[in-house]
């Protein structure tokens, strides 16, 4: 049975970043991964262009029981560090919107850079971990290809989204075995199912604002056959599925507009009047009354305006992990050091990436978290 300084379970962004630091420290390392190639989620991220960081990354863009857990890792490996790392590998990139960076060519540029940084570090592909035990100060990792020993273990198994790429809850199983709590798993950064809209609206897209509690989210909304999607809905899914209000005309007081239109264009229907601000099919869905606008009382116009400026939904549900970009929930950060990523319940056990109860907002925050937490784990294991 071969002994290593560190064994990393998971060859994703966090695991490979950790391996790079260990390689620099001249540690003997083995990476174990259940798939047949590394960083599979990185390769398909950002529509194949890999949104690899966001310079606005701070704890306010992360979710979980303790979002402030990200403060130390993000300070140790910052978005600027990620940008400089990308530049050092001569990867061409573009800033599609302020602070949000993508590969100019292909996401595989990031994958290849991660692999190049681990040097001769071995990766055992198509290897499933059956269990991890600790005897004295040595971890014994049991797999379908044999047993391996190490002084330290880094759990970087990721979340449970993108099931077709090969995922496992073994990271959660191992953490629980060593006494760590697992926060409930749920899909995030995904579309939402709701019966509030007709499937006839499918394919319509428009800028919208979603309010959840006191938080306001802005971005494009897309109607689907089963509900709503688009960037603003993906962001809303990070909050779970609470009640929400959608403003389909976020820059317009529709009630004031309708009152004015009633005086100026009284012979037009309300739906046709609304088509100035929202798609015609949506306007007719929200107002089916065929009367001319002049025939409406102001109280009736107010009710219609509320449907547009504050359409309430209370039946939203996520579409499932198979279609989610990330997994919310995971290993609780309560018993993990944010300065080292080491367990306070078991010396030598480290965690990194999406396997933890940390989920980033849409826009490069999740990969930045993988890089930052992986860097810190690799620096300390």
SS3 label, residue 129: strand
Q: What string of DSSP letters covers 49-79?
A: T-EEEETT-SGGGEESS-GGGGHHHHHHS-H
Q: What angle do CA 303, 307, 310 make, to 5 degrees?
A: 110
Low-confidence ranges of the chain (pLDDT < 70): none
Q: Do domains 3-187+324-380 and 191-319 have the same CATH topology?
A: no
What is the domain partition of the chain in residue ranges? 3-187+324-380, 191-319
Helix intervals (H) in 25-163: 40-44, 71-76, 79-88, 108-117
Which CATH number does the domain 3-187+324-380 belong to among 3.20.20.70, 3.40.50.300, 3.50.50.60, 3.90.550.10? 3.50.50.60
The 3-state DSSP class for residue 187 equals strand
> How many CA atoms within 13 Å lie on the side-chain side of 32?
27
Q: Is the pTM of this model over 0.85?
A: yes
Q: What is the pLDDT of residues 261-309, one digit of tens each?
A: 999 889 999 999 999 999 999 999 999 999 999 999 999 999 999 999 9
Q: What is the DSSP letter of 244?
A: E
Specify the CATH architecture of the domain 191-319. Answer: Orthogonal Bundle (1.10)
* Residue that has been written with the tokens 């999740």 in this structure: 366
Inter-CA distances, 308 with 16, 212, 246, 259, 261, Å: 47, 16, 8, 15, 16
Helix (H, G, I), strand (E, B) or coil at 113: helix
Per-residue model confidence (pLDDT) at position 189: 96
In sign, the C-alpha dihedral spanning 309, 227, 358, 346 is positive
Instruction: Say what the pLDDT of residue 201 is.
Output: 98
Q: What is the pLDDT of residues 193-249, one digit of tens each?
A: 999 999 999 999 999 999 999 999 999 999 999 999 999 999 999 998 789 999 999
Phi-psi region of 313 (alpha: psi -120 to 50; beta: other; left: phi over 0): beta
Phi, psi of 280 (to 5 degrees): -55, -40
């Amino acid at each position: 049975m071969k002994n290593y300084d560190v064994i990393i379970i998971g060859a994703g962004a966090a695991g490979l970043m950790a391996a790079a630091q260990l390689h620099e420290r001249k540690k003997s390392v083995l990476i174990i991964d259940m798939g047949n190639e590394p960083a599979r989620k990185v390769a398909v991220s950002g529509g194949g262009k890999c949104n690899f960081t966001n310079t606005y990354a701070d704890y306010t863009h992360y979710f979980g029981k303790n979002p402030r857990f990200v403060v130390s890792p993000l300070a140790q490996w910052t978005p600027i560090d990620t940008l400089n790392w990308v530049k050092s590998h001569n990867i061409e990139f573009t800033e599609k919107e302020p602070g949000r960076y993508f590969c100019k060519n292909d996401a595989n540029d990031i994958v290849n850079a991660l692999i190049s940084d681990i040097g001769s570090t071995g990766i055992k592909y198509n290897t499933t971990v059956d269990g991890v035990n600790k005897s004295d100060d040595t971890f014994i990792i049991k797999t379908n290809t044999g047993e391996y020993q190490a002084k330290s273990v880094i759990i970087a198994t990721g979340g449970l989204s993108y099931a077709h790429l090969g995922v496992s809850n073994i990271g959660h199983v191992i953490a629980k075995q060593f006494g760590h709590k697992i926060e409930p798993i749920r899909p995030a950064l995904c579309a939402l199912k709701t019966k509030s809209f007709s499937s006839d609206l499918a394919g319509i897209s428009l800028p919208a604002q979603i309010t959840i509690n006191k938080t306001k989210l802005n971005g494009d909304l897309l109607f689907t056959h089963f509900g709503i999607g688009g960037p603003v809905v993906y962001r809303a899914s990070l909050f779970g599925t609470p009640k929400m209000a959608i403003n389909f005309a976020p820059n317009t007081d529709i009630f004031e507009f309708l009152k004015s239109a009633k005086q100026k264009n009284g012979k037009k229907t309300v739906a046709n009047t609304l088509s100035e601000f929202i798609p015609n099919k949506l306007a007719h869905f929200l107002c089916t009354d065929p009367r001319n606008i002049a025939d409406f009382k102001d109280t009736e116009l107010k009710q219609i305006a509320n449907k547009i400026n504050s359409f309430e939904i209370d039946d939203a549900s996520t579409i499932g992990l198979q279609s989610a970009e990330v997994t919310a929930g995971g290993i609780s950060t309560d018993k993990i050091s944010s300065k080292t990523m080491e367990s306070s319940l078991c010396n030598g056990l480290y965690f990194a990436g999406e396997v933890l109860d940390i989920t980033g907002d849409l826009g490069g925050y999740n990969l930045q978290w993988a890089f930052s937490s992986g860097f810190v784990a690799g620096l300390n294991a």
